[in-house]
Amino acid sequence: MQSGPREITTPFRPIPLDVPEGMKPNEFFNSTENLNDLVNNNGLLLSPEKLLLYRKALGHSNTFDCSIIYNTSESILNPLGRPVRRTQVPENVKWAWNRMNRVIIDYMLEQFPDPGEALLLAGEASLDATWSLTAPGVPSIRMLHNHFIVFPMAQLRDAPLADANNPNLTDGGQHSLFQAYMRDVYREFFERALDLKILKPVSDSEARLSLTGYPQGLPSWEISGGAAALGEVGFWREYDEILKGFLDFYRSFFAQVSSRNAPMLPDVYFPKQVESVLLFNDNFMATAKKVREQCIRDPAYANAIRWQPAFKQLIYRNDQGKLIVTISQNSIGNAITELLGVVVKRVPDAAAYEQTEPQLLEHLLAVRRRLIDADLGLGIATAHWGDA
């Protein structure tokens, strides 16, 4: 079978939301009213830390698909001021967040144990606070949220090949600025900055899914100990270290794009490595020069620059059943699934969605019960299900 990205079709039930006259849809979706819809129509569980588990009304998969969002819509009214990554949330919220992640991933692995039958992933895509509200492609909710998704491998194998030139298929080997021009210094920075014990680097071939050929060219790490390691606090600290390293690289690079020979940022996580590996590297500085000069010449290019860190970081299972962590620079409008070569075409089809809904809800309510039993929140009753 030919290896390449796949495009699947996922039906959904149209959402009965009326966007107020004069508002763009993405402006409305960032409002408290839309979050009320998430709670009242799709909410499954809410923790005391305001972590909301909900069904994805516009889902990627109808096999298993849910999200957790840090719902600050009523406590932080400015969408640009809301936390959009784990490094921006209070410790008690992150603690509960990590435990919820572990419970849900454990459930996915238990219910879908064969990597030949199911592709599963969990992770966050930070697109939120990096564009203006009215820019095209801005995601629907400007708050930290994770995705938990399972795709049947049979569906992926039967799906047609996606257009490999689709700009949303952002992978390190083809579209990422970091990987295309600074691959060596990017990986060297991770190796020298991060002191990892549970996460161990793996090659591109070990990380890549044979069916889709993705991810490509990205730094990736195997979780030593597999699912059991998710129960260790040390794993989640290392998971955060990878994010911190990425943020240092991204922010340091675009500081140089913005201002020639800019001084080191005062709040980086790894100042010694930023100074010695990045700011003293000719290739790193030369690439910043190229981007800066293109920004000056090309206003459309400059307008598309993501000046604030935008990333996808996820945990997924490879062909051998190993759990892999990877992180990627984000691009315009792409979904977290596309990091693994899965393009989702959503189509409104209530009848088709309703055929898969009972089994989907059975999984979501079962994982909710485990979260309640672990004292990670209370169930939410909607018109579709009760609170227990």
What's the pLDDT tens digit per position in 138-156? 545 678 889 999 999 999 9
Specify if 32 maps to a domain.
Answer: yes
The answer to whether residue 172 scores a pLDDT higher than 90 is no
* 214 and 300 share one domain: yes
Specify if 324 maps to a domain.
Answer: no
* 11 and 34 share one domain: yes
- Do residues 315 and 240 make contact, with C-beta atoms less than 8 angstroms apart? no
The answer to whether residue 136 scores a pLDDT higher than 60 is no
Specify if 5 maps to a domain.
Answer: yes
Question: At which of 311, 339, 368 does a domain end?
Answer: 311
Tell me how far CA of residue 346 lies from CA of 26, 62, 162, 251, 326, in angstroms.
Answer: 17, 11, 14, 34, 25
Specify if 325 maps to a domain.
Answer: no
Specify if 137 maps to a domain.
Answer: yes
pLDDT at 8: 96
The answer to whether residue 131 scores a pLDDT higher than 60 is no
- Do residues 193 and 273 make contact, with C-beta atoms less than 8 angstroms apart? yes
Provide the residue range defining the domain that includes 42.
1-166+330-388
Q: Which residue, 321, 260, 328, is CA-closest to 293?
A: 260
pLDDT at 191: 94
* 15 and 94 share one domain: yes
Per-residue pLDDT, averaged over 42-53, amounts to 96
* 374 and 292 share one domain: no
* 179 and 161 share one domain: no
Distance of alpha carbon 156 from the chain centroid: 20
Rounded-to-integer distance, Cα 15 and Cα 372, Å: 28
pLDDT category, 135, cuts 50, 70, 90? Answer: low
pLDDT above 70: percentage of residues in the chain: 90
Specify if 79 maps to a domain.
Answer: yes
Q: What radius of gyration, in Å, describes the C-alpha atoms of the chain?
A: 20
Q: What is the pLDDT of residues 319-370, one digit of tens each?
A: 999 999 999 887 655 678 999 999 999 999 999 999 999 999 999 999 999 9
* 65 and 152 share one domain: yes
Tokens of 314: 């996820």
Question: b/e map of 315-343 (b: 16 or more CB within 10 Å)?
Answer: bbbbeeebbbbbbbbbbbebbbbbbbbbb
* 336 and 364 share one domain: yes
Question: At which of 253, 282, 311 does a domain end?
Answer: 311
DSSP conformational letter for 8: E
* 227 and 118 share one domain: no
| Chain mean pLDDT for the chain | 89
* 29 and 158 share one domain: yes
Tokens of 36: 């009320």
pLDDT at 178: 79
* 132 and 281 share one domain: no
Question: At which of 250, 284, 311 does a domain end?
Answer: 311
Q: What is the pLDDT of residues 269-285, one digit of tens each?
A: 999 999 999 999 999 99
Q: What is the pLDDT of residues 185-233, one digit of tens each?
A: 999 999 999 999 999 999 999 999 999 999 988 899 999 999 999 999 9
The answer to whether residue 2 scores a pLDDT higher than 70 is yes
Q: What is the pLDDT of residues 25-38, one digit of tens each?
A: 666 766 666 777 78
Q: What is the pLDDT of residues 296-314, one digit of tens each?
A: 999 888 877 778 888 889 9
* 160 and 273 share one domain: no
Q: Where is 342: in which H helix or E strand?
A: strand 342-348
pLDDT at 83: 87
What is the number of domains present in the chain?
2
Specify if 178 maps to a domain.
Answer: yes
The answer to whether residue 137 scores a pLDDT higher than 60 is no
Specify if 316 maps to a domain.
Answer: no
* 191 and 249 share one domain: yes
